[in-house]
Amino acid sequence: MKTDFSFLSVRDVSKTFGALTALDGVSLDIPRGEFFGLLGPNGAGKSTLMSLIVGLKSPDRGSVHLDGASLDLRGRSQLGFIPQGIALYPRLDARQNLAIFGGLHGLRGRELGLRIDELLAAVQLSDRAHEPVKNFSGGMQRRLNLAAALLHRPKLLLCDEPTVGVDPQSRNAIFELLEQLNRDGLTVIYSTHYLEEATRMCSRIGIIDHGKILTVGTLDDLLGQLSFRDEIRFPQNDRTASFAQALAPYGQVLNDENEFRFHPSPNFALSAFYREAETQGIPNRLIQHQRPTLEALFLQLTGRALRE
Amino acid sequence: MKSILVLVRKDFANFRRDRAGMLLTFLIPLILIVFFGKVFGLGGASAERPGIPLAVVNQSTDPLVNKFIDALRKEDSFTLITTQPSANGPRALAESDIRPLMQADRFHFAIVIPADAISTQGGVHVKYFTNPNNQIETEMVSGLLQKVAFTSSPQLLGRAMQARMRDAVGSTRTEAFDHSLAANIARTFGGDENEIFKSLREGGGVFSPPESPAGADADEAGVGLNRFLQQFVHVEKEQVVGADVKSPQATQMIGGWAMQFLLFAVTSSAAALFAERERGLFQRILSGPTRRSDILWSKFLFGMILGLVQLLVLFFAGHFLFNIEIAPYLGRLALVCICAAASCASFGMLIASIASSQEAARGFSTLVILLMSALGGAWFPISLMPAAVQTMAHFTLVFWAIEGFMQVLWAHATLLQILPTIGVLVGITALVMSVAWWRFARGAIFD
């Protein structure tokens, strides 16, 4: 039975390149309308997974289904793909580029013309429509790169790090367009190694490393998995020593070289901590409070930082 | 099919925006054709072309030697150098001038005809000086000298034979032989025995002509001996094929030139596959409803159409610039052009399938194109090459394409007659494309 939860279904997919295992038994279910983030460092297997989903590579094992059907040539017309590079013809103008990619999806004549107009407006390039792409800035090229994947109104959009090297203005334009498309019902898989992008846009995030999906969930789910708790640090001196002693019943106090590290118990209200600190005359500027982050989760799961 | 057409249109749109590509495909070949056309004196300018410089020092006073030199002078392929500038104006070239002037590269060939050129010891004695820095030129000059000697001055050879005979058997027995020969001629063919003997002695032991027929004018009678002697070595020339070709040299050369330019243009367009791969364009295209084979076919089709257009442009340029006649044979020429362009396009695809990068493809293709052009007869006739190389030439598409062009433009072959050549070109295309396809399937160009 076809369920909404299995709009895109990746089952036990593996792919090796010689001795390198790029993907190792990856399974994923993406429901219709989701904005799914695929988070991982360079070489984690994000692009390989994208390539398998869009049919550029065949898996050694496993299967990929879209809307219950395997992704044959016809099925691929439901996909839109933004490759990592700027996959445009630099000598041709923006309009010509879009006409080619629209044409490859079977769009012709007036329908194609209207769609090109619509998308050029959406990526704020209407006034540069007849200019060769090679004259565009990196950000403009990225925006057009996005538009080229949307001409045929795909049901699933795969974005493989679409904002690499983009200026903040273009990045925002891309985010806003993607968010708008998602609100309109487009399912998006967004691969990135930028945490802020994943946390801003994605309703669910999968963390991938060494070809394996390590965990999948909403941001809250993921942070909930983190064994790392809030940590409050403050310097060691005569005044803070008694404060540290007072905190001992409410959590774990570790005595580091020059500072105390306090990990509060789950039921300990942080407001009580700050009240006690004020009572003890310890200024806020001496207190450093670290909260759980995706970066910390990633570090915990993989043992390495996201941008390594 | 629709995807293929979209991709072909894309390639043409890209090509229209590629000024360097346009220049290299159309303008540069045209400029080179005009340039080389002028260099080789095509298009009616051949009369202005100077012959190969040949220095001649004549130390003999024998009238037969003068006749030989006159014949050399009349030979279009030679420019005779017989004088040397001096303070007092030009002076006759001396033997002592030859070596220094050849070392100064003033000319590569010289003959010195000594005073005893037709020696009493027998034979014609000529000194021949060469600087054979160009094999083809050297062989050409040697052949021309022999031709002039045999066809224009056979008496020289006759005189030499008489001298050798005198040397071998003595004057008395030679004279007796001539008497005997004259008597036999008179007995068999008629005529006065004494006149025939006199003619034999003066003509260098060669038969004298029969008397001029009654009514022949004085001039004809005067040259009778010469004409008769020339009949012994007279070559009856009949041009069986290509006699009505308007611009022979240009027609012979245009096919070879066009093929070289075509190969460079088409290979370059196929090598562009690498640039598209590096930009991630294949990823985008193949993520949609387009097959890998669509990309390859589109590239082949684009190369073929581009090649066809280039060939036709070059042939039309040849028509307007060098008077090459193409209008009556346009249909057959277009057919050969299509097949030649297809085979070149397949070659471009093969190069792209073998190479690992655009740079490697360009370097490798340049090497192969030059080799194939040389072997295939685009630079010089393959008949000048060793037999093994001539056999190898048959395995190049350049050879078959030139063969096709020549069949149409030179021999005015019918459609039926050019079919075997067309068949070979189509076969080459199919074979090369199959190998390219196999290589693409195993390679990483779409990864």
pLDDT digits (tens, 9 = 90+) for B240-259: 677 777 777 778 788 888 88
How, if at all, do strands A187-192 and A156-160 pair?
A: parallel
Please check whether residue A286 lies inside any domain of the structure.
Answer: yes
Looking at residue B53, what DSSP letter applies? E
A152 and A278 share a domain? no
Average pLDDT, chain B: 82
Encoded tokens for A187? 């399912």
Q: Does B22 touch chain A (CB under 8 A)?
A: no
Q: How far is B104 from chain A (nearest CA, A)?
A: 54
CA dist list (Å): B101 to B95, B140, B243, B350: 10, 21, 40, 51
Q: How many residues in chain A?
A: 308
Please check whether residue A67 lies inside any domain of the structure.
Answer: yes
Q: Please tell me whether residue B121 adopts helix, strand or coil conformation.
A: coil
- What pLDDT is stored for residue A170 in this prediction? 83
A31 and A142 share a domain? yes
- Which of A74, A76, A92 faces B14 most closely, judged by CB atoms? A92
Residue B122, CB-side half-sphere exposure with 13 Å CA sphere: 11
Q: Please tell me whether residue B78 adopts helix, strand or coil conformation.
A: strand
A266 and A192 share a domain? no
Measured between CA atoms, the residue of chain A closest to residue B4 is A104
Asked whether the beta carbons of residue B284 and residue A51 sit closer than 8 angstroms, the reply is: no
Residue type, A28: L
Q: Does A132 touch chain B (CB under 8 A)?
A: yes
pLDDT tens digits for B262-292?
888 888 777 788 888 888 898 899 888 888 8
Residue A39 burial (CB count, 10 A) = 28
What is the distance between the alpha carbons of residues A47 and A42, in angstroms, rounded to a whole number?
A: 9
Task: Compute CA A172 distance to the chain's CA centroid, rounded to the nearest angstrom.
Answer: 15
Q: What CATH number does the domain containing A113 carry?
A: 3.40.50.300
Lowest mean pLDDT among A254-258, B161-165, B208-212: B208-212
Asked whether the beta carbons of residue A56 and residue B285 sit closer than 8 angstroms, the reply is: no
- Is the pLDDT score of B301 beyond 70? yes
Please check whether residue A302 lies inside any domain of the structure.
Answer: no
The pLDDT-based confidence of B121 (bands split at 50, 70, 90) is low
Question: Tell me, what's the ipTM?
Answer: 0.79
Last residue of a domain, one of A176, A206, A224: A224
Q: Which residues of A touch B18 (CB under 8 A)?
A: 91
- Is the pLDDT score of A209 beyond 50? yes
Q: Which residue has the higher pLDDT, A279 or B47?
A: A279
What is the distance between the alpha carbons of residues B282 and B241, in angstroms, rounded to a whole number?
A: 51
Asked whether B175 and B158 are in contact (CB, 8 A), the reply is: no
What is the distance between the alpha carbons of residues A192 and A82, in angstroms, rounded to a whole number?
A: 12
Task: Compute CA B215 distance to the chain's CA centroid, rounded to the nearest angstrom.
Answer: 46
Please check whether residue A297 lies inside any domain of the structure.
Answer: no
Longest dimension (CA), chain A: 80
Residue B15, CB-side half-sphere exposure with 13 Å CA sphere: 24
- Which of B6, B279, B284 faces A81 most closely, judged by CB atoms? B284
Q: Which residue has the higher pLDDT, B63 or B4?
A: B4
- Which of A76, A87, A152 faces B280 most closely, judged by CB atoms? A87
- Is the pLDDT score of A4 beyond 60? no
A101 and A243 share a domain? no
- Is the pLDDT score of B211 beyond 70? no
- Is the pLDDT score of B399 beyond 80? yes
pLDDT tens digits for A115-128?
999 999 999 999 99
A219 and A238 share a domain? no
Q: Which residue has the higher pLDDT, A167 or B136?
A: A167
Q: How far is B264 from chain A (nearest CA, A)?
A: 21
What is the distance between the alpha carbons of residues A212 and A63, in angstroms, rounded to a whole number?
A: 16
Please check whether residue A197 lies inside any domain of the structure.
Answer: yes
Q: Which residues of B touch A85 (CB under 8 A)?
A: 278-280, 283
Asked whether the beta carbons of residue A148 and residue B284 sit closer than 8 angstroms, the reply is: yes
B-contacting residues of A 206-265, CB under 8 Å? Answer: none
What is the distance between the alpha carbons of residues B65 and B59, in angstroms, rounded to a whole number?
A: 9
The pLDDT-based confidence of B341 (bands split at 50, 70, 90) is very high
Asked whether the beta carbons of residue B288 and residue A76 sit closer than 8 angstroms, the reply is: yes
Encoded tokens for A243? 């404060």
Last residue of a domain, one of A204, A224, A244: A224
Name the β-bridge partners of A220.
none
Residue type, A267: N
- What pLDDT is stored for residue B186 in this prediction? 82
A11 and A140 share a domain? yes
- What pLDDT is stored for residue B21 in this prediction? 83
What is the distance between the alpha carbons of residues B393 and B400, in angstroms, rounded to a whole number?
A: 9
- Which of B18, B284, B446 faces A87 most closely, judged by CB atoms? B284
Measured between CA atoms, the residue of chain A closest to residue B292 is A56
Q: Which residues of B touch A56 (CB under 8 A)?
A: 283, 286-287, 446-447
Lowest mean pLDDT among A26-35, A129-138, A267-276: A267-276
Q: How far is A183 from chain B (nearest CA, A)?
A: 24
A83 and A203 share a domain? yes
CA dist list (Å): B417 to A17, B252, B392, B407: 53, 19, 23, 8
Q: Which of A151-160, A247-256, B244-253, B436-445 has the highest mean pLDDT?
A: A151-160
Cα torsion through A95, A97, A100, A106, rounded to 10: -60
- Is the pLDDT score of B30 beyond 60? yes
Encoded tokens for B403? 């063969």
Average pLDDT over residues A98-114: 93
- Which of B17, B284, B446 faces A92 most closely, judged by CB atoms? B17
Q: Does A86 touch chain B (CB under 8 A)?
A: yes
Q: Which residues of A touch B9 (CB under 8 A)?
A: 100, 103
A144 and A256 share a domain? no
- What pLDDT is stored for residue B218 in this prediction? 39
Q: Which residue has the higher pLDDT, B185 or B110?
A: B110
A123 and A143 share a domain? yes
Encoded tokens for A306? 């996201």
Please check whether residue A301 lies inside any domain of the structure.
Answer: no
- What pLDDT is stored for residue B7 in this prediction? 93
Count of domains for chain A: 2
Asked whether the beta carbons of residue B281 and residue A77 sit closer than 8 angstroms, the reply is: no
- What pLDDT is stored for residue A121 in this prediction? 94
**If you search the block for the tokens 């010469």, which residue do you land on?**
B226
Please check whether residue A220 lies inside any domain of the structure.
Answer: yes
What is the distance between the alpha carbons of residues A149 and B287, in angstroms, rounded to a whole number?
A: 10
Q: Does A152 touch chain B (CB under 8 A)?
A: yes
Q: How far is A3 from chain B (nearest CA, A)?
A: 25
Q: How many residues in chain B?
A: 447
- What pLDDT is stored for residue A184 in this prediction? 92
Number of H helices, E strands in chain A: 10, 14
How, if at all, do strands A8-17 and B109-113 pair?
A: unpaired
- What pLDDT is stored for residue A119 in this prediction? 94
Encoded tokens for B202? 């003066």
A186 and A50 share a domain? yes
3-state helix, strand, coil in chain B (%, to 5): 70, 5, 25
A235 and A159 share a domain? no
A166 and A263 share a domain? no
What is the span of the domain harbouring residue A276?
Answer: 231-291
Q: In what order do the strands lie in the sheet with A251-255?
A: A251-255, A259-264, A231-235, A288-290
Please check whether residue A296 lies inside any domain of the structure.
Answer: no
Q: Which residues of B touch A64 (CB under 8 A)?
A: none
Cα–Cα nearest to A215, from A281, A92, A297: A297
What is the distance between the alpha carbons of residues A275 and B330, in angstroms, rounded to a whole number?
A: 99
Burial of A133 (0-12, 13-18, 19+ CB in 10 A): buried
Q: Please tell me whether residue A183 adopts helix, strand or coil conformation.
A: helix
Q: Does B441 touch chain A (CB under 8 A)?
A: no
Cα–Cα nearest to B271, from B377, B373, B368, B399: B368
- Is the pLDDT score of B217 beyond 50? no
Alpha helices (runs of H) in B280-355, residue ranges in sequence order: 281-286, 292-322, 330-354
- Which of A57, A81, A96 faces B13 most closely, judged by CB atoms? A96
Q: Does A193 touch chain B (CB under 8 A)?
A: no
What is the distance between the alpha carbons of residues A265 and A252, in angstroms, rounded to a whole number?
A: 7
